Each structure stands twice: as C-alpha cells, then as structure tokens.
A and B are shown apart, each in its own frame.
Chain A
C-alpha cells in the first residue's frame, strides 16, 4: 500500500448499515439493512413514484427491481416481503448481501466501473464462522475485485474510537448491545479474549417484537394499526430500563401512579366514519331522506330522457306509416330497410308499444316520495295498552327485561360451571343422566312395559334441558327474541334508555388510544431477564458475572474499572444506572468499578473504523488480494479490532 488511498468504511450492522469514506466526519450513507422486491403487477405504476427520491439518474432510467434500504418508500407496506442478508448477527444470505453491496457501491459512485480500486473496512460478528468470512471474501475479491479488505468487530472499533478521544486503556469489559445479540467482551492487555466472550441472543429486535406482541394482545381490535414501525418508534423514544425493576413494577400496580404516568397513544382513525357513528337518529333519517330524493331525481331525469327519445322514435315511425298510407311504396321500402324493420306488421307493433310506453309514463302522477319505511315502523310500534300510563308500562317492560337478562346470565353461568368437572353443576348433571339411564335399563331387563309415568307431565321433559350442556335450546331463543323486542320498544320511547352493553359515551378517538404504561420498563427488561420471552439464557447481569468469573480476581478488577457500553440498544435511558446497581451487587464489598458510555452509540463503531483506517500501520491490517490468492479464501489478517484467525482443520 504505497500511495494512501481513500478507504471505504462499511459498518455492516444487522439493523442499520453505515457507509462512508475514512476521511469524512460521518458516514455518507446510512440505511436499514433490508431489501424488498416489489411485486411484478404493481411495479408498473409504482416505479415512477418510488424512484423519485433516488438521486442518481441511472436509477431512474433502469427501473430498479429491488429496493434497498432508504429506497423503500413505505416500509410498512412491504413488511412481509422484507429480506435481510442476516440471520441473527451473521450473514447467511449471500444473494441479498450482494444486492446490498450493489446498492452501496452504486450510491458511493462506483457505478459502471469494472472493479473497485479502494480498500474496504468491513465489520463482522464476533467469532464469525469461517464459512461466512470465506463467502464474504469471495464475494468481495471475485465479484467486486477489491484490492484489500480489513475485517473488524464493531464493538472493538467503537472502543478504539473511545480510546482515541481520551487515553489508551489496556483492559476493559465491553458490553455491546446489538439489534439481534448482546455481547460481553473482555479485553486484557489490549487483546480480545475471544474464548471468554459470551453472547446473549437477545437484542433490539426481540425488544421490538415483544412490545408488538404485548400491544397486539392487549388491543386485538387494533391488530393492524399496531405496526412494527410504530412499535420501533415507541421503543426508541419512550422505553427505558428500570433501575429497580421490581420496585417500579409495584409502583405501576398502584392505580394513582398508573393514572398519573400512563401514556396514551392516539392511533390514526378516520373522523368521518366516527362522526357518522355519532349522528343522532334524526340526523340519520334526514340524511337517508336526502339520499332518497336524490335517487328519485336521477330516476326522473332518466325517464324524461327516455320519453324524449321515444317520442322522436314515434314521430319517425308515424312518418313511415304515413308514407305507406300515401302509397309511396318504393320510398317506404327504402326507409324500412334504413330503420332495419322487416315489414308493415313489425312497424305497427313497434308503434303501439312505444305509444303505450309514453302513455304509461305520462299517466303516472309526478312521483311523490312514499312515506318512508321508518315512518311505518314507528306506526307499527306497540303502544301502551289502554288505561295504563306509558311510564308504568315502560317500567314494567324494563323489569321484565331485567328478569330475562338475569335468567340469561344464570344460564350462562350454569353452562360455564358444567364445562368444568368437579363443580356442583357438573356433578348434578351426571347424576341426572345416570338416573335416566338406569330407569331405561330396568325397563329393558324386565322385558315388559313398566311405565314410570315419565312424560305424563310436560315439565318432565325439562330434565333434558337441564342436562343439555349447550343451553341454546328453544327456551333461550325465545328469551332472546323477547329481549330484543323489549329493547326495541324501550329505546324507542325512552331517550335515556341505555341497554348496558352499548359502548359507553366515549369519544371515538379514545377508542383508538393505546395505553402504554408498564410496557416502557417491561419490554427492555428482557435484556436482564430473558426468561420473560421464554429464553433459557442467563440475563445480562448474570452473564457479566459469569464472564468475570472466568478470570482471576486481579484481572477482574482491572477490567471492571473500564466497563464500556456501546451499540444501538445502549441508548436506553437508565441502562448505565441499572448496570451500576448490578455491578455493585456482584462485585466485592468496597471494590471500585466505573462504567463509560460511547460518545455516539450508533456511529462510534464506524468512526472507530475510520480512526484505524487513518493510522500509519493500517496497511498491515489489510488482507490483500495476494493474501487471498496465497492463503485461501478463509484467511484474514488479525489486528487490534479483529476476530482471531483459526484455520478450519484440514481433512
């Protein structure tokens, strides 16, 4: 590497990819590491709109089949078709990775060049399997023809960046919070202790999906409105990590605290439909009447047009008829052919039908709107019987209705109880069934008709109703009908009638609100208690203790003096305080520890990689094309921020 070339730095994270030149202050390109392929049939209309945002004219000329990262205009619409090259934190889908590289190189101005002349710094996962690195090297060297590549670990690059800004530190415990994984990385004497690194397979992705699940189950009605994008926003902006989870939980359990701190999120809703629902019955009626008038108008207009047409037609036919009567046969024949009429009889019949039609329309009185059905319905409404005041009658109805409701409720309860074994109701049912069966048996055994009198009384048959597990028999049907009837009458006469199960008088907007309360601490807590999402892995605090125990007491002390937090999920409020608490619990009494945070959780890895690319010995960290050809595709050069190279054992 004689002449220092610009280095392309790619922080290839599973959530977001950051790309830029090493001599710039911040990445030129940041995008979600996903791609989608729009469906063929929609593409024709969709393409002109979607490529509007693309700055390169090339993208506009050749309709991009595949949309990557920021080109995806509406990520929620294609959520089901989103593809990522990642599986957890390692790359497994090479087709997609190639498409993403195409996108990166196009955007960075390599369009149309045969090969890429600049060296590349690329981040990868901790202990990235050799197979994956091999594929990556092959892709970069063979497909894109790059001169050299340097693989590094994002968390270590971030640590480099931190040291570069402050002072060199030889020992540290780095905790890297990623999108799909969380790593605890011990560094001793400036060297990565790869064999003692541990990975918790919980990350931002799990937090977001957990919140999605919780919200969708809490509000099954708004299933579709609760989208991943919205949940991401909630997690990014409002979730925090509780310093004392149990204590904060118990606070949420108190109703006063809940009322005070609950956050209500308004989902978009259509106010037009909402006002429709709020219209009073009168307004609705008015609207309906208007609509009927308009329809009538349209019908009248159409009839008028038809009438005019018919009259013209009749005029023509009458002329023809006159021709015939005036014995102008030749002309008549010609005209008939012109009108496509066979002979005289046909003409006559046509004339008669048309004139009939005209007569019919004219005879009809200018249509007056019929009394609306609503009016009829009201007429049909039963009225209070003679001699009883309406109020009394309504009160009676009301009490009857209550009785019915009660009966319904008891029946339902009975059914529920019968559904479970060991309840009194279920046992009673079994007893009745067995007595019924026994009496039947006895009759059979005797061989003679021994009538026990069952069925003489109509009420005897009720026993079957009682043992019927599903009580929706004729009785409850009749009850339901009666109930409906009562409710109709009551709601007609009584303005204040509220049938209980109607939606309470609440604005429609409030129905579209999500209550976001305990979730703000509950969701990120899965980092510390993965058992909440059914993962058997140790939580973060337990994991840190586990990793520390792999070292001697002195080494532990050296490391905990520089606990360094980095990665996107480190942005949660309260994380540092929580970890301080956990360290206090796990470290020996009166021992020291200190926790540092990266300056920019999401960008520091990229910046650190830039720092390293600018150093004089950067050339030694590069795996060059020559190395690739000489040592095979899985080889890479180790450096301060890289994985360790362990060749795959030979057969």
Chain B
C-alpha cells in the first residue's frame, strides 16, 4: 500500500484503466421481457412493459423476483 502511494499520479496501472462511470442515465427495460419499461411495480420493484407482464409477475415466486432484481444490480435502500 505504501509503495503504491509513491507511484506518480499519471502512471497508468491496471486500476487506472477502469472505465469511468456512465454519465448518461440508465435506460429502463422490463426485467421480464427486456422491452422498454415505463412502469414499475411498487410492491416487488420489478419493471414491466405491459399488463400481461404485470399479470405474470403476480404469481412469480419470490426467489425469481429477487434474482431478476439482483441481475439488474438492484439493491433496496433498506
């Protein structure tokens, strides 16, 4: 660690090569179908594109819901 601090600032290392964070807002896609999703279910936090998807979400086991959320990288604020 101490040695790393001696590195000149402009020296490229494996870690300075990382891509910068995205500055454009992430587009929202349905978790289930991948279509552009204007809606979000406040209960499960899943995004959905139309009523049929919403209906299919209603009897979806919670582990699948959680997996969908984790694939998208969603973490609840709690």
Chain A positions within 8 Å of B, measured between CB atoms, are: 90, 125-129, 183, 194-195, 197-201, 210, 213-214, 217-218, 220, 246, 249-250, 252-253, 420, 518-519, 522, 529-539, 542-543, 546, 644, 646, 648-649, 651
- A532 is contacted by which of B24, B29, B61 (Cβ under 8 Å)? B29
Whether B67 is near chain A, meaning CB under 8 Å from some CB there, is yes
Residue picked from B16, B32, B49, most chain A C-beta under 10 Å: B16
State which of B3, B16, B27, B74 has its C-beta within 8 Å of the C-beta of A649. Answer: B3
Min Cβ gap B29→A in Å is 7
**With a CB–CB cut-off of 8 A, which chain A residues contact B72?**
532-534
Q: List 10 A-B contacts (CB under 8 A).
A: A90-B14, A198-B17, A201-B18, A529-B26, A531-B22, A534-B70, A537-B20, A538-B22, A542-B23, A646-B11
- Indicate if the CB atoms of B71 and A538 lie closer than 8 Å: no
Q: Which residues of A contact B6 (CB under 8 A)?
A: 649
Partner of A542, one of B22, B35, B70: B22
Give the complex CA separation of A201 and B33 in angstroms: 25
Asked if residues A543 and B19 are in contact (CB atoms below 8 Å), the reply is yes
A522 close to B14 (CB less than 8 A): no
**B7 CB contacts on chain A under 8 angstroms:** 649
CA distance A237 to B58 in the complex (A): 34
Secondary structure at the B interface, as helix, strand, loop or mixed, is loop
The answer to whether B26 and A531 touch across the interface, beta carbons within 8 angstroms, is yes
Closest to A199 in B: B17
Contact A535 B12, beta carbon cutoff 8 Å: no
Bound-complex Cα distance A232 to B11 (A): 38
* A518 near B34: Cβ-Cβ < 8 Å: yes
Please, which residues of chain A bring their CB within 8 A of the CB of B32? 218
Q: Interface size (B, Cβ < 8 Å)?
A: 37
What distance in Å separates the Cβ of B64 from its nearest Cβ neighbour in chain A? 5
Whether the pair A213, B22 counts as a contact (CB closer than 8 A) is no
* Interface pair A518/B22, CB less than 8 Å apart: no
Contact across chains for B12 and A536 when beta carbons are under 8 A apart:
no
B22 lies within 8 A of A539 (CB): yes
Contact between chains at B20 and A198 (CB < 8 Å): yes
Kindly provide the distance from the CB of A184 to the nearest chain B CB, expressed in whole angstroms: 8
The interface bits of chain B over 53-71 (1 if a CB of A lies within 8 angstroms of the residue's CB, else 0) are 0000000010010011011
Also in contact, A250 and B73, with CB within 8 A (given A200-B19, A536-B22, A649-B3):
no
Whether A252 touches B23, Cβ cut-off 8 Å, given contacts A213-B67, A220-B64, is no
Q: Given the known A-B contacts A128-B14, A129-B13, A518-B35, are A535 and B73 also in contact in the complex, defined by CB atoms under 8 Å? A: yes
Query: Which B residues touch A646, using CB under 8 A?
Result: 11-12
Contacts of A210 in B (CB 8 A): 71
> In the assembled complex, how far is the CB of residue A119 from the closest CB belonging to chain B, in whole angstroms?
26
Q: Which 5 A-B pairs have the closest CB atoms?
A: A534-B73, A531-B26, A649-B6, A538-B22, A522-B34
Question: Chain B residues with Cβ under 8 A from A651's Cβ?
Answer: 2-3
Given contacts A534-B74, A644-B12, A648-B3, 11 further A-B contacts (CB under 8 A): A129-B14, A195-B10, A195-B11, A198-B19, A200-B19, A253-B35, A532-B29, A538-B24, A542-B24, A546-B19, A651-B3
Whether A217 contacts B67 by the Cβ 8 Å rule is: yes
Most chain A CB neighbours (cut-off 10 Å) among B27, B34, B61, B71 = B34
Q: Are B17 and A538 in contact (CB under 8 A)?
A: no
Specify which chain B residues have a CB less than 8 angstroms from the CB of A250 in the assembled complex. 35-36
Residues of B within 8 A of A (CB): 2-3, 6-7, 10-14, 16-24, 26-27, 29, 32-36, 43, 49, 61, 64, 67-68, 70-74
A220, B68: Cα distance in complex, Å: 12
Q: How far is the CB of A141 from chain B (nearest CB, A)?
A: 23
Docked CA distance A183–B17 (Å):
9
User: Measured between C-beta atoms, what is the minimum distance from A572 to chain B in Å?
Assistant: 17
Give the complex CA separation of A129 and B64 in angstroms: 39
- A424 to nearest B CB, angstroms? 17
> Are A253 and B49 interface neighbours, CB within 8 A?
yes
Q: What is the CB-to-nearest-CB distance from A517 to chain B, in angstroms, rounded to a whole number?
A: 9
- Which residue of the partner chain B has the closest CB to A90? B14
Whether B14 pairs with A252 at a CB distance below 8 angstroms is: no
Q: How far is the CA of A537 from the CA of B7 in the complex (A)?
A: 25
A546 and B74 alpha carbons, distance in the complex (Å)? 26
Residue of B nearest to A194 (CB): B12
Name B68's closest neighbour in chain A (CB-CB).
Answer: A217
- State A200–B21 Cα separation when bound (angstroms): 10
In contact, A249 and B71 (Cβ under 8 angstroms): no
Residues of chain A contacted by B26 (CB below 8 angstroms): 529, 531-532
Distance in angstroms between the alpha carbons of A200 and B33 in the assembled complex: 26
Name the residue on A nearest B35 (C-beta).
Answer: A253
Residues of B within 8 A of A532 (CB): 26, 29, 72
CB distance from B39 to the nearest CB of A (A): 14
The answer to whether B13 and A538 touch across the interface, beta carbons within 8 angstroms, is no
B38 CB to closest chain A CB, in angstroms? 12
A126-B17 in contact given A249-B35, A529-B26, A649-B7 (Cβ < 8 Å) = yes
CA distance A413 to B27 in the complex (A): 34
Q: Which residue on B lies nearest to A546, using beta carbons?
A: B20
Do A537 and B18 have beta carbons less than 8 Å apart?
A: yes
Judging by beta carbons under 8 Å apart, are A201 and B19 in contact?
yes
CA distance A252 to B68 in the complex (A): 20
Nearest B residue to A420 by beta-carbon distance? B43
**Separation of A246 and B27 alpha carbons in the complex (Å):** 10
Alpha-carbon distance between A12 and B45 when the two chains are bound, in angstroms: 43
Pairwise interchain contact A127-B12, C-beta atoms closer than 8 A: yes
Question: A534-B73, A536-B22 are contacts. A249–B34 as well, Cβ < 8 Å?
Answer: yes
Which residues of the other chain, A, contact B67 by a CB distance below 8 angstroms?
213, 217
Return A74 CB to nearest CB of chain B, in Å.
27
> How many whole Å from A136's CB to the nearest CB in chain B?
14
- A100 and B77 CA atoms in complex are apart in Å by 45
Q: In the complex the two chains form, what is the Cα distance from A546 to B14 in whole Å?
A: 18
Question: A537 near B21 (CB under 8 angstroms)?
Answer: yes
CB distance from B33 to the nearest CB of A (A): 6
Do A538 and B35 form a contact, CB below 8 Å, given A198-B18, A649-B3? no
Bound Cα distance from A42 to B60, whole angstroms: 40
User: Contacting A533 at CB < 8 Å: which of B16, B61, B71?
Assistant: B71
Task: Report if A534-B18 is in contact (Cβ < 8 Å); known contacts: A542-B24, A649-B6.
Answer: no
Distance, CA A200 to CA B18, complexed state (A): 6
Residues on the B chain within 8 Å of A126, using CB: 17
Q: Are B22 and A127 in contact (CB under 8 A)?
A: no
Residues from chain B with Cβ under 8 Å of A543 in the complex = 19-20
Tell me if A530 and B3 are in contact (CB < 8 A). Answer: no
